[in-house]
Structure 1
Amino acid sequence: MDATDSSTSLSFEVAAFNASIIVGPVVLGTLVDTCLFGCLVIQTYVYFANFANDHRAIKFTVAAVFAIQIAHVMCVSATLWNTAVVAYDDPSKLQILPLSAAATILFTGITGGLVESYFAFRLWKLSKRHFLPTVSLVLCVIAQVVSLVITVQAFKTSSIAVFEIDQNTSITLALTSRVLCDVILTISMAWYLKKQRSEYSRTTSMIDRLVLWTIETGLITSLVAVLVIIFFLAMKENYIWVGLYAILASVNGNSLLALLNGRLIFRSVTSENLRMGTLSGSGGGHNKQHPFVINVTQTVRSPLEVFKRDEMEV
C-alpha cells in the first residue's frame, strides 16, 4: 500500500468528522501544557532565587530549558489556533501538518535531551560508575538524533496522514528510547540510594524520601511517553496522541526543576536538625553539644549531597 492509499485510508471524511477526538485532544493538551508552563515559570523563579551559588552549567541548563519551553508553548498555541480556528469552517484542513507542530517536535526533543543528560550526570555523581550513565546517554542521543530527523521530515511533509505512515518507525524508536532512558535513570538512581540506606542510619528517612521522590518524578515522564506510544500506534485516526505529545516537554522541564528545587526541603530538614541539636546540647552541658554537631555535619556531607549540595559542582 503506497503513501497515497494510506493517506486516503487514514483521512477522515468531512461528513463523519468528530471534533471530540480530533480538535478536543489538541485543545485539552494545549490547556494542560500552558498550566504546566505556568508551573515551570514559578519553579524557575524559585530556583534562581534560592540557588544562586549553583555551578554555571546547571544554571545554564535551567535557563536553556526555560527558554526552549517559551518557544514550545508558543508553537503549541499556534497549533491550537490552526486546529480550532483556521480549520473551523473546513475540517479537511485538519489533515495539513502545520509548521508550528513540526517546530514542537524539535523543542520537545531538545528539552528531553537536556533533562535526560542532566539526570545521567546525577546518576554518575551518585554511583561513581560509568556503565548505566553511558547507556542512558546513548539512548538519549539516539532519541535526539531520531527526533531531529523526524523534525526535518515534518517540515517537508504537508499531510499528517502521510507523516504518520512514513515516520511510524522513527516516532516509535524516538519515544521508546526516551522511555527506556527515563526508566533506567529512575530505577538506577533509586537503587543506588537504597543501597546506601543502611550505611547512613541518620539519613534513613531522608533517603527513603529521596527514593520516593526520584521514582515519582522519573516515572511521570515515562508514563506520558508510554501513553503517547500507545495512542500513536493504536489510534492514528484521532489526535489523542498529539494532545499527549504536546505536554511531554513541559513534564520533562518540570521534573528537572522539581529535582533541583526539592533541595529546599533538605535545607529545611538540615536546619531543623541543627536547631534541635543545639537545643539538645545546651540542655545537657558542654560535653554533649560537640559530638551531636559532628554527627549532623556528617549527615549533610553524606552521599546525599549529590542532591543537596550542587554549589560549585559541574
Structure 2
Amino acid sequence: MDTPTDLLDSLQEIFACGIVGYAIATTIYGITVLQTYMYFRRYPRDRPSLKAFVGVLWILDTLTTVLMSHALYAFFVLNLKDLVRDVDLPWSFTLENGVTDLITAMVQCYFAERLWRLSQGNKVLSGAIVILALITLALCTEGTVKVFSNHNLLSDTFRKSLVLGGSVQGVAVLGDILITGGLCYYLATNKGGHGRIDTLFNKLIAYAVERGVLTCAVQTLYLIMSVAYPERFYFVPFAMIVAKMYVNTLLASLNVRGSMDKRTWGEEEPSPIQFTSRTWSPLEAAQASAKANVSAPSGSATQIGFSVEVTSDETRTTVS
C-alpha cells in the first residue's frame, strides 16, 4: 500500500470502524455507569474486597473510554492538517488495548473464584480458567509492547502483531466456555428439588448462559476479523467493546440478586430492619404492658397478643 489512494482507503476504513466501535462502546459504558451505581446503592453490605474490585473495574473501564476518546481526537483533530501522521497509531489506542486485556483477565479470574466456591473447591476447573486468563494476558501484553515499538499501520510487523493479538482471543474464548459450562453444571447439581429454589437456580443458569454467549460472541468475532482479514480493520469495533462487555456481564451477575428475590418469591425485596436496645424502668414496662394487651378485631382470621413480663429492672416481651 504505497500509493496515496491506498493510504486514504486504509485511513477511511479505520476511521469508519473506529467511529462505529466508539459509538457502541460509549453506549455500553453508560450502562456500566448505571450498573455500578445500582450495585453500590443496593449492596452496601457486600464484603469490602468485592466492592473494591468493582470500583477498580469501573475505573479501568472509564480509562479505556478516555483512551479511546483521545485516540479519535488525535485522528480527527491533532492530525487534521497532516493525514499522513494518522498512519502511526496513537499511543492511547495501543494502551487501551492493554487495559482491555487486563480487564478480561480480572473478570475471568473473578468467575474462577466463584466457581471454586460453588464447586466446593474444584481446583482443576478454577485453576484451568486462571491459567488460561493469565496466558491470554501475557500474550496480549507481548503484542501490545510490539505495537508500541512499531505502530505504523501499514507495516508488516504491525499486521503480524494484530493477527497474534486476535488469535490469542481464542484462548479467552476457551476460558469463557469453561466458565459458562462450570456455572451451568454446578448450579444444576445444587438444585434441591424444591419448586421455588429450582426456579431460582434455573434463572441463574439462564443468566450464566447469556453471559457466556455475549462474551464468547464478541471474542469470537474479534478473532475471526483479525485472522481472516489481516489487511483490514474490521476487528476494531470488537476490540473497543470487549472489555465493556466483560465489566457489564459481571455487574449484571451481581445486580441480579435483588431482582431474583423479587421475581422468584413474588414480592418486593424487604427493607432492612434495624433494632435498637433500650432499658426500661419497672413503671415504663408496666405502662407498655397495659398498652400492648391488644387483640385483632373479631372479624379477622388471626389474633396477635403481646405481653410484657416485669421482673425487677428487667423486661421480657413475648408474642403469641
Q: AA paired with 2:60?
A: I
**Partner SS, residue 7 of structure 2:** coil
Could you tell me which of 246, 251, 255 is aligned with 1:252?
Answer: 246
Q: Kindly indicate which of the two structures has a greater share of residues assigned to helix.
A: 1
1:18–1:81 distance in 2 versus 1, CA, 3 Å: closer
Check conservation: 2:101, 2:140, Cα contact below 8 A. Answer: yes
Correspondence for 1:147: 140
State the Cα distance separating 1:84 from its structure 2 match: 3.3
Correspondence for 1:95: 87
Q: C-alpha separation between the residues in 1 aligned to 2:302 and 2:253?
A: 40
Structure 2 residue 174 is matched with structure 1 residue 180: yes
Q: C-alpha separation between the residues in 1 aligned to 2:129 and 2:44?
A: 29
Q: C-alpha separation between the residues in 1 aligned to 2:15 and 2:22?
A: 11
1:236–1:86 distance in 2 versus 1, CA, 3 Å: farther
State the Cα distance separating 1:95 from its structure 2 match: 2.5
Structure 2 residue 124 is matched with structure 1 residue 135: no
Check conservation: 1:17, 1:91, Cα contact below 8 A. Answer: no
Could you tell me which of 255, 262, 266 is aligned with 1:261?
Answer: 255
> Gapped runs of 5+ residues in structure 2?
270-299, 304-320
> Gapped runs of 5+ residues in structure 1?
1-7, 276-282, 287-314
Q: Between Structure 1 and Structure 2, how many residues are aligned?
A: 271
Q: C-alpha separation between the residues in 1 aligned to 2:43 and 2:138?
A: 32
Check conservation: 1:10, 1:236, Cα contact below 8 A. Answer: no
Q: C-alpha separation between the residues in 2 aligned to 1:18 and 1:98?
A: 13
Check conservation: 2:25, 2:244, Cα contact below 8 A. Answer: yes
Work out the percentage of aligned pairs sharing the same amino acid. Answer: 23
Q: AA paired with 1:215?
A: V
Deviation string, structure 1 residues 227-281 (Cα, Å, up to 9, x no partner): 0110111122222201210111111111110010011112324664699xxxxxx
1:11–1:196 distance in 2 versus 1, CA, 3 Å: farther
Q: C-alpha separation between the residues in 1 aligned to 2:8 and 2:14?
A: 14
Correspondence for 1:3: none
Q: C-alpha separation between the residues in 2 aligned to 1:86 and 1:228?
A: 28
Correspondence for 1:197: 191
Q: AA paired with 1:63?
A: G
Correspondence for 2:110: 118
Q: Map of 1:270-289 to 2, 5 A cutoff?
A: 272=266
Structure 2 residue 18 is matched with structure 1 residue 13: no
Q: AA paired with 1:33?
A: A
Q: Map of 1:236-251 to 2, 5 A cutoff?
A: 236-251=230-245
Asked which structure has the greater CA Rg, the reply is 2
**Partner SS, residue 31 of structure 1:** helix
Correspondence for 2:63: 71
State the Cα distance separating 1:43 from its structure 2 match: 0.6
Q: C-alpha separation between the residues in 1 aligned to 2:194 and 2:71?
A: 51
Check conservation: 1:14, 1:91, Cα contact below 8 A. Answer: no
1:143–1:18 distance in 2 versus 1, CA, 3 Å: closer
Deviation string, structure 1 residues 161-181 (Cα, Å, up to 9, x no partner): 334333256314431111111
Correspondence for 2:42: 50
CA RMSD of aligned residues (A): 2.7
Greater RCO, CA 8 A, separation 6+: 1
1:174–1:10 distance in 2 versus 1, CA, 3 Å: farther
